[in-house]
A and B are shown apart, each in its own frame.
Chain A
Amino acid sequence: MFEARLVQGSLLKKVMEAIKDLLNEASFDCAHSGILLQAMDNSHVSLVSLNLRKEGFDKYRCDRNIVMGMNLTSMSKILKCASNDDIITMKAQDSADTVTFVFESPNQEKVSEYEMKLMNLDQDQLGIPETEYCCIIKLPSGEFARICRDLSQFGESIVISCTKEGVKFSAAGDIGTANIKLAQTGTVDKEEDAVIVDMQEPVTLTFSCKYLNMFTKATPLSPQVCLSMSPDVPLVVEYKIGEIGHIRYYLAPRIGD
Chain B
Amino acid sequence: IMSQKSITSFFKPN
Q: Give A contacts to B, CB under 8 Å.
A: 40, 43-47, 124-129, 157, 206, 208, 233-234, 250-257
Contact between A252 and B9 (Cβ–Cβ < 8 Å)? yes
Q: Tell me how many residue pairs across A and B have CB atoms closer than 8 Å.
A: 60
Size band of the B side of the interface?
A: 10 to 19
Are B10 and A252 in touch, CB under 8 angstroms?
yes
Q: How far is the CA of A206 from the CA of B5 in the complex (A)?
A: 11
Residue B6 contacts which of A45, A124, A233 (CB distance < 8 angstroms)?
Answer: A45
- Complex CA–CA separation, A234 to B13 (angstroms): 16
CB distance from A56 to the nearest CB of B (A): 25
A251–B4 Cα gap in the complex (Å)? Answer: 10
Taking a contact as CB atoms under 8 Å apart, the answer to whether B2 and A250 are in contact is no
Most central of B2, B4, B6, B11 by chain A CB within 10 Å: B4
Whether A257 lies near B3 (C-beta < 8 A) is yes
Question: In the complex, what residues of B have CB within 8 A of residue A253's CB?
Answer: 5
- Tell me whether A255 and B6 are in contact (CB under 8 A): no
Cα(A126)–Cα(B13), bound, Å: 4
Residue among A127, A251, A257 making CB contact with B14, cutoff 8 Å = A127
Whether A255 contacts B5 in the complex (CB less than 8 A), given A125-B14, A233-B10, comes out as yes
Name which residue of chain B comes closest to A47, CB basis. Answer: B7
Q: Is the CB of B3 within 8 A of A255?
A: yes
Specify the chain A residue showing the minimal Cβ separation from B11.
A126
Minimal Cβ-Cβ distance residue in B for A44: B6
Which of A124, A125, A234, A255 is the one whose CB lies under 8 Å from B10?
A234
A251 to B5 alpha-carbon distance, docked (Å): 9
